[in-house]
Structure formats: structure tokens, C-alpha cells
């Protein structure tokens, strides 16, 4: 079957739509990044890892709260270019980008104080393996902040979701203890978990 050039899905269109969503005013108003970060005890020398950083929605505000390193991890190099550009424009010298998945992260064990995972864990398979890798890079008593969409009773979409009860179980199995559970909107939940040992 021959496809005309115009019939091909356009990667750049998809990328632009994704960037539009990630940087949207609606998302910022629903649950502002600064409000998300206030849920964590961020100290001025903390090292932070933002998993699935996207356009730097949390990376950039986090880098303004610490003199430690903030690592933006994403599989899409185009997203990381946006993060780098934002960090440069804001004069932030403590942002480093890492392309790949959690298994590709070149960070030492027990080197990170806080891991951020906003609207990304539902895309990861197997989740348990990734949570183990997060546990490895986190310092003892370090924090993992997970923001996800709660599962709906009658879903009218094809987007995968991780129910908060399932994520809490997975976190416990991976050596975390959930210290806070919040619902900032009807559909969004936040779990703050602490590495136990």
C-alpha cells in the first residue's frame, strides 16, 4: 500500500500539541508547579531528579528553590532542548538534562534528595522496576513526589492511569512509606512517599 506524503502522521504536530498541553495555562492554573513543590521539604542544597520532565514544568521552578543540581530526565531530546532553553533564559546553572529512561540515569546510589514524577508513572512498564531504580538513587529518608490522574469509574478515554491505591501498594513494595496523599483537583492525586532504608 502506498501512502502519500500528507498521509503520514506528523511527529512535529504531535510534539507541538504535547508541548502545548504541558505548558498550558489550564494545567498551570489547575495545579501550579510552585504549589506542588511546596508540598516537599526542599532545602537550598538538595539534589532533585525530575522524571519525565517534559518542558520543565517542575524542573525550572525546582531549580529556583535549590543551589543543588536539578536533573531533567526525558526520553524525548526535543523536550530536553526546551528545558535547556528555559534554564538558560532564566540564568539557571544548576539544571542538567538526561535523555533516556530511569534505567539510563548515570547517577550514583543515594545521591538524590527528592525525585519528582508528575504525570509520567502511568506510562512506565513495569512500574515496580522503575520504583526500585528511584529508590536506589534516593538518599535514605529522601522523598518521591508522584502526581497522577485518578482512575475514573466510567472512563471515556484511552489514556492509561494508575489508581492511587495501586500506586500506594507499589510504593510500599519498593521500600517507600506514603506520608501525604492529596487531591488538589477532582481528577489529580498526589502521593508524597519517603524512602525508608
Lowest mean pLDDT among 11-15, 56-60, 114-118, 132-136: 11-15
Structural domains in the chain, CATH included, are 29-195 (3.40.50.150)
- The residue with greater pLDDT, 156 or 88, is 88
C-alpha cell at 2: 502506498
pLDDT of residue 158: 59
pLDDT of residue 172: 95
Per the DSSP assignment, residues forming a β-bridge with 98 are 73
Is the pLDDT at 36 greater than 80? The verdict is yes
Percent of the chain with pLDDT over 70: 81
The predicted-structure confidence for 45-72, as pLDDT tens digits, reads as follows 999 999 999 999 999 999 999 999 999 9
Cβ atoms < 10 Å from Cβ of 176? 24
Per the DSSP assignment, residues forming a β-bridge with 172 are none
pLDDT of residue 42: 95
The predicted-structure confidence for 123-150, as pLDDT tens digits, reads as follows 888 899 999 999 999 999 999 999 988 8
Is the pLDDT at 109 greater than 80? The verdict is yes
Please choose, from the candidates 100, 40, 47, the residue with its C-alpha nearest in 3D space to the C-alpha of residue 71: 47
Burial class (CB in 10 A: 0-12, 13-18, 19+), 167: buried
Amino acid at each position: 500500500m502506498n501512502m502519500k506524503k500528507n498521509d503520514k502522521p506528523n511527529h512535529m504536530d504531535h510534539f507541538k500539541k504535547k508541548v502545548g498541553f504541558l505548558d498550558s495555562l489550564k494545567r498551570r492554573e489547575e495545579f501550579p508547579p510552585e504549589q506542588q513543590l511546596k508540598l516537599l521539604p526542599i532545602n537550598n542544597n538538595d539534589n532533585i531528579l525530575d522524571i519525565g520532565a517534559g518542558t520543565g514544568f517542575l524542573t525550572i521552578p525546582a531549580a529556583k528553590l535549590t543551589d543543588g543540581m536539578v536533573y531533567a530526565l526525558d526520553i524525548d531530546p526535543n523536550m530536553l532542548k526546551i528545558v535547556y532553553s528555559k534554564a538558560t533564559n532564566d540564568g539557571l546553572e544548576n539544571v542538567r538534562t538526561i535523555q533516556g529512561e530511569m534505567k539510563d540515569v548515570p547517577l550514583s546510589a543515594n545521591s538524590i534528595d527528592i525525585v519528582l514524577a508528575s504525570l509520567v508513572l502511568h506510562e512506565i512498564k513495569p512500574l515496580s522496576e522503575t520504583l526500585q531504580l528511584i529508590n536506589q538513587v534516593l538518599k535514605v529518608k529522601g522523598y518521591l513526589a508522584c502526581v497522577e490522574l485518578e482512575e475514573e469509574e466510567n472512563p471515556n478515554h484511552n489514556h492509561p492511569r494508575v489508581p492511587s491505591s495501586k500506586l500506594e501498594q507499589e510504593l510500599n513494595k519498593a521500600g517507600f512509606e506514603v506520608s501525604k496523599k492529596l487531591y488538589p483537583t477532582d481528577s489529580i492525586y498526589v502521593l508524597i512517599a519517603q524512602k525508608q532504608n
